[in-house]
Amino acid sequence: MADDALRLLEAMLFTAGEPLNERWLARRLPAGSDVKRLLARLAADYAGRGVQLVRAGETWAFMTAPDLGAQLAADRSHELKLSRAAIETLAIIAYHQPVTRADIEQIRAVHVSKGTLDVLFEQGWIAPQGRRDTPGRPVTWGTTDLFLRHFGLTSLKELPDAAELRAAGLLDAAPAAILGLPAAECEGSAAQ
């Protein structure tokens, strides 16, 4: 019985062609199936193969193994080139989320143009996470499962050096900004 569920799961993931949500999969499996366990088993079955079952946040998808990239990709010319500001901003959102625009400006000590966030939003890498309960109720931003998948991360815990940075206190809420924007513009962001 479990094998049937496993085969159905494999078939669904195979046909989907895009990441599928765990809950979406669970609804379509026979009642009583442990979707997480089945996914883990399937992923283990595919480990080391040219095609792998990869988790990103709550979504799963078959993907080619990263080490084959060079042999598979004939044309790298349309690779997205992001500005330095966009790369920095993405890192700040990934490591400090949820962050407001004021938080990002405080860390970068320069104004963040709307276009920078737009580029990341259009890529589907960041999404609004809600609003912070401070004056003005600013929107907070965080990364999406698509962000994790794009960079081959299973969860935010896998962000490079996340633990080290946290231990070093570099991901803590900020004290008042020293440089850059006038203090008044940063006030709303001091509290995390």
Partner 1 sequence: MTAWAERESPFDAEVRSDGNEAFVVDLDGFAGPIDVLLSLARSQKVDLSRISIVRLADQYLDFVAAARRRSLQVAAEYLVTAAWLAYLKSRLLLPRPVLEDDEPEPEALAAALAWQLQRLDAMRRMGHRLFARPQLGRDTFLRPAAKVPAAPSVPAVPAGACTLTQLLAAYAGHLKRQQTPRLVVTPSSLMSVDAALARLRAGLGAVPGWESFLRYLPEECLNDEADPLTTRAAVAATFVACLELAREGAVRMRQARPFGPIFIIAAEGGSTGGG
Helices first, then strands: H and E counts in the chain: 10, 6
The H-assigned helical ranges of 100-141 are 101-108, 114-122
Name 186's Cβ contacts closer than 8 Å, sequence gap at least 6: 102, 105, 106, 176, 177, 180
Q: If binding is defined by CB under 8 A, does position 11 make contact with partner 1? A: yes
**Cβ–Cβ under 8 Å, residues 174 and 165:** no
Query: Which region among 30-38, 41-49, 72-80, 183-191 touches partner 1 (by CB under 8 A)?
Result: 72-80
Query: Which region among 37-45, 82-90, 131-139, 184-192 touches partner 1 (by CB under 8 A)?
Result: 82-90
Tokens of 184: 């008044």
Cα–Cα dist 29/9, whole Å: 7
Q: Which of 10, 41, 58, 127 lies at the binding interface for partner 1 (CB under 8 A)?
A: 127
Which 85-114 positions form the footprint of partner 1 (CB under 8 A)? 85, 87-88, 90-92, 94-95, 107-110
Binding-site size for partner 1 (CB under 8 A) equals 65
Radius of gyration for the chain, computed over Cα atoms and rounded to the nearest angstrom = 20
Query: Which region among 32-40, 41-49, 67-75, 131-139 touches partner 1 (by CB under 8 A)?
Result: 67-75
Applying CB under 8 A, the residues found at the interface with partner 1 are: 11-12, 14-21, 24, 28, 54, 61-66, 69-70, 72-73, 76, 79, 81-85, 87-88, 90-92, 94-95, 107-110, 121-122, 124, 127, 144, 149-153, 159-161, 165, 168-170, 174-180
